[in-house]
Amino acid sequence: MRIASVFTTCAIGLCTLSASAMADSAVSSPLNELSEVERLSGWKLLFDGQTTEGWRNYRRDTISKGWKVKDGLLAREGLFAGDIITEEKYGEFELSLEFRISTGGNSGVMFRVTEEAPQPWHTGPEVQILDNAKGHDPQKTGWLYQLYQPKKPNWRIKIEKAAGLEPEPTLDTARPAGEWNHLVIRVTDNESRVYLNGVSYYRFQIGSDDWNKRVAKSKFSKYAGFGKAEEGHICLQDHGNDVAFRNIKIRDLSRTPPDPQHGKLAVGVEPAFPNLNFADWEGVDENGKIEIMRPLVMTAAASESERLYVATQRGVIHTFKNDPDARQTDIFFDIEDQVKPFYGSGANEEGLLGLAFHPDYPTDPRFFVYYTKRVSEPTSIVSSFRVSADNPLRADPKSEQVLMTIDEPFQNHNGGSIEFGPDGFLYIGLGDGGSANDPQGNGQNLSTLLGSILRIDVDSTSADQPYGIPADNPFVEQTDARPEIFAYGFRNPWRIGFDPKTGDLWAADVGQDYYEEIDVVRAGGNYGWNVREGAHPFGADGEPAKPEYIDPVWEYDHTAGKSITGGYVFRSDRVPELDGRYLYADYVTGKLWALDYDPNSGTVRSNDRIPTKNMPVLAFGQLPGGEVLFAIPTAGGQGIYRFVSKQTDE
């Protein structure tokens, strides 16, 4: 079963389109302008790239000649430039800006500055800007001066040491003098946070006991007004050294900022199988403790649209008739005894994670699973099993053929989605191996399978593997690359899925500290992690936008959600409002959206909310007719939902 020529041509052609359309995407923008996602998320510009409008010197009505606007930059270049502040005051806010410090230079960004004191730092806390290599201050870039500095959490140090790494206890993601850095300062009454180059540095609460103790030990203790104002100016510091700023943006956090969406759809949800009982599932253990069912795959064999299969994270696959009135499942497959339990310490992302039936099933009686193995060292397995020769509703657990054994350095970021593409090849989504920030650099390393989406031929073998390598895989001829890799630069794709109409492969990649992203995956594509997150440079080695990196088609930051769950393109007229839209959700905030994407132009037409109560979506599933279901964790097992058209009250 091969239609590779059609699919490959489509993929390669759209890969070229993606690179050329990068500048016009919804997630990127020209210098000193807002992207579509930023505009929808409530951001406003504090610097237009052309004038100093909105800024003035501290305790002055104008701005000095030492601050210049040149080539879209707000630059301190002259003597006696002086500290400058915003005309407006801000209380609870999020500030985003990029800065470039000179060699040996020093500067800073202060907030909640008031003007009754001789100096702005007498009232406003300062986030340090410094040339960390040649600067003359023990405080480093991103530190809250004399108050907070970034420390790697103990759990990360412990697991990275166990993996053979030598982690530094203090985070340092600053880029050298002369390079651009991205600073985000989020200030609210309940919690404040600082990010440098996409990495969360520390949290603090102004006025808390911890804050007051730190202030008392600092040089700011003698200033009665320090950190006391409920609102104040943003201040850019002149410390006598050249520094430049650009892309200065702010948004109000005194109320919840809007999500990046264009509207709401007249679509609701309802239980897909309200009377369904799962065989051998009670929802409580022998001690009366509640147990949670986590359905991660809902699928059907291509030739069996009347029957559904639901794979649970515990290692059990159920089957039942595709009928809303279905009442009972049969256990099709059970390997719980060889699957790493997800409810163990640190094992939340382990278990049975993927299921796909051979395209010619049941003529070819194989189905394929991805699971983490019940062994001491983190290990992922991709195997095939066969349906029983005597019972089409029961698989043979002894028929396992292991295709891949993947050593994982950590317990998290296993990916686990597996899907057959329209070309008949098996695609496998792998995370970067885990911990945080990809400490081994797997996302950009083509010599490892981790951090990639793989493409293999399960109908052939090679000299040293029980599977074949498609001849048109993009890295087949590259000696330092694994030939299985189809695309790379992923952190933790959760999940992947093909559009049954266009053949496009979609992936939702779970973010680290700030961005969640949606990608349309192209052959040979590099999606940036861990030198980019979303459409932004990430970390000390972060890379700017370049043709070799493919930006996501959509992203959102962690005010809208914190853990994306990817779905499928809905292809059914049963809910016409969703037809042709990519469905996705956020597990933490429980929100669902429908993305309207134009594959011809590579642009997003709209992103609309599906109004529901908060629902922690684990996974989506697509039926043979194109309809999409989704699942949430429940104790009773009634966690599978479908979408319905409805009249909106708004």
| Domain harbouring 47, CATH code | 2.60.120.560
Per the CB < 8 A criterion, the answer to whether 456 and 406 are in contact is no
What does pLDDT average to in each consecutive run of 10 residues of the chain (650 residues)? 35 35 70 98 98 98 96 94 98 98 97 98 98 94 98 91 91 97 98 98 98 98 97 97 98 97 98 96 91 96 93 97 96 96 87 97 97 93 96 95 96 96 98 95 98 98 94 97 98 98 97 98 98 98 96 97 98 97 98 96 96 96 96 95 78
On whether residue 535 sits in a domain, the answer given is: no
**Strand 603-610 vs strand 263-264: parallel, antiparallel, or unpaired?**
parallel
On whether residue 29 sits in a domain, the answer given is: no
Distance separating alpha carbons of residues 420 and 425, to the nearest angstrom: 6
On whether residue 75 sits in a domain, the answer given is: yes
pLDDT at 24: 56
On whether residue 376 sits in a domain, the answer given is: no
Q: What is the largest CA-CA distance in the chain?
A: 88
On whether residue 508 sits in a domain, the answer given is: no
Per the CB < 8 A criterion, the answer to whether 508 and 516 are in contact is yes
SS3 content of the chain, % helix, strand, coil (to 5): 10, 35, 55
Distance separating alpha carbons of residues 363 and 397, to the nearest angstrom: 19
Q: Ramachandran region of residue 413, left (φ > 0), alpha (ψ -120 to 50) or beta?
A: left
List the beta bridge partners of residue 185. Answer: 95, 194
Per the CB < 8 A criterion, the answer to whether 446 and 382 are in contact is no
Nearest Cα neighbor of 640 from 266, 351, 299 is 299
On whether residue 80 sits in a domain, the answer given is: yes
Structural domain count of the chain: 1
Q: Which residue type, as a one-letter code, is found at position 445?
A: N
pLDDT at 647: 66
- Helix, strand, or coil (residue 38): helix
On whether residue 289 sits in a domain, the answer given is: no
Distance separating alpha carbons of residues 318 and 312, to the nearest angstrom: 8
Domain housing 245: 36-252
On whether residue 82 sits in a domain, the answer given is: yes
Give Cα separations from 554 to 14, 413, 415, 596, 599 (angstroms): 16, 21, 20, 10, 13
